[in-house]
């Protein structure tokens, strides 16, 4: 079973790229982030034509997450518990093909010390609480998405330049570790030790041709899922296409149960 995660930066603007990549990579499950459209405007038919069922949680202009699966999607959850005032579309979860999967778009945080940074830390704390309730389930669990955190200096092209900046600040790295330390395996880190498995390159300043990337997209596997981990990777080629997202897709392959 192949599970992928892809921050597409607008599913409408990226439709040809995403469809072409799905046709090549053929994931069984794909977690999308930054779809940037309300559910009624989501290009459903194009994905259904490739054999995917859809679960959507979108909003206008910003954010938006989705799950594509070749298997039926059951028990869909469309918000992260813990803050009734949080209306941003950043979380969706479902049970499909014998595994519970979640697509998460963690807030960027904008700048350390800002209100948005505090919102990010609060979101990560809520995600930890919810992940703790998932890790103890009988079913395997995969939480994938754009975490907007580079866990380690090895995940950053220039750690000195990024030190204490948003995406790399010790407080958000600690918040990420509190989640993984619940018992999750970072699939990319487990199979690409030593880093340089970047997943995001800024559109600006020629970051992509210079490979000035960060590893901020992750797939976290519960113990029952991690026991089945066979391989994982980043599809860098997608980042080099015309009209590419600023993120590359990440994926992992699990052995059949």
Between CA 88 and CA 49 the distance in angstroms is 29
Q: Toward DNA, which CB reaches closer, 114 or 257? A: 114
Query: Which one among 3, 6, 9, 151 touches DNA, defined by CB under 7 A?
Result: 9
Closest approach, Cβ 231 to DNA, in A, equals: 28
Candidates 10-18, 73-81, 182-190, 226-234: pick the segment binding DNA (CB under 7 A): 10-18
Between CA 159 and CA 178 the distance in angstroms is 22
Query: Which one among 107, 144, 145, 151 touches DNA, defined by CB under 7 A?
Result: 107
Catalytic residue among 28, 52, 91, 146: 146
Which 71-90 positions form the footprint of DNA (CB under 7 A)? none
Closest approach, Cβ 10 to DNA, in A, equals: 3
Between CA 2 and CA 74 the distance in angstroms is 18
Closest approach, Cβ 244 to DNA, in A, equals: 8
Decide if residue 180 touches DNA (CB under 7 A). no
Q: Toward DNA, which CB reaches closer, 114 or 133? A: 114
Q: Toward DNA, which CB reaches closer, 177 or 212? A: 212
Decide if residue 13 touches DNA (CB under 7 A). yes
Which residues have a Cβ under 8 Å from the Cβ of 150 and sit 6 or more positions away?
Answer: 156, 162, 167, 168, 173, 214, 215, 216
Which 237-256 positions form the footprint of DNA (CB under 7 A)? 243
Report how many residues bind DNA under the rule CB under 7 A.
Answer: 19
Q: Is 105 an annotated catalytic residue?
A: yes
Q: Is 86 an annotated catalytic residue?
A: no
Decide if residue 12 touches DNA (CB under 7 A). yes
Closest approach, Cβ 108 to DNA, in A, equals: 4
Query: Which one among 98, 133, 203, 230 touches DNA, defined by CB under 7 A?
Result: 203
Catalytic residue among 52, 105, 155, 246: 105
Q: Which residues of this protein are in contact with DNA, per CB under 7 A?
A: 9-10, 12-14, 36-37, 60-62, 107-108, 110, 116, 202-205, 243
Q: Which residues are catalytic?
A: 105, 146
């Amino acid at each position: 079973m192949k599970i992928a995660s892809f921050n597409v930066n607008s599913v409408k603007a990226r439709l040809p790229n995403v469809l072409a990549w799905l046709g090549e990579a053929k994931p069984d499950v794909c977690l999308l982030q930054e779809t940037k459209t309300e559910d009624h405007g989501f290009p459903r038919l194009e994905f259904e034509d490739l054999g995917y069922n859809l679960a959507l949680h979108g909003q206008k202009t910003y954010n938006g997450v989705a799950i594509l699966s070749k298997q039926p999607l059951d028990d869909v959850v469309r918000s992260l518990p813990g803050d009734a005032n949080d209306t941003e579309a950043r979380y969706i979860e479902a049970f499909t093909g014998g595994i519970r999967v979640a697509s998460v778009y963690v807030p960027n945080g904008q700048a350390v010390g800002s209100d948005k940074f505090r919102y990010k830390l609060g979101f990560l704390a809520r995600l930890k609480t919810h992940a703790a309730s998932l890790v103890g389930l009988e079913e395997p669990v995969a939480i994938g998405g754009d975490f907007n955190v580079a866990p380690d200096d090895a995940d950053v092209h220039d750690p000195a330049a990024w030190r204490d900046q948003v995406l790399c600040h010790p407080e958000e790295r600690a918040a990420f570790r509190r989640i993984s330390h619940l018992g999750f395996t970072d699939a990319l880190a487990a199979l690409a030790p030593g880093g340089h498995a970047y997943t995001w390159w800024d559109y600006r300043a020629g970051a992509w041709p210079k490979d000035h990337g960060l590893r901020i997209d992750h797939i976290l596997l519960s113990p029952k899922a991690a026991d089945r981990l066979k391989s994982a990777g980043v599809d860098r080629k997608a980042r080099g296409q015309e009209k590419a997202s600023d993120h590359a897709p990440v994926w992992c392959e699990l052995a059949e149960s």
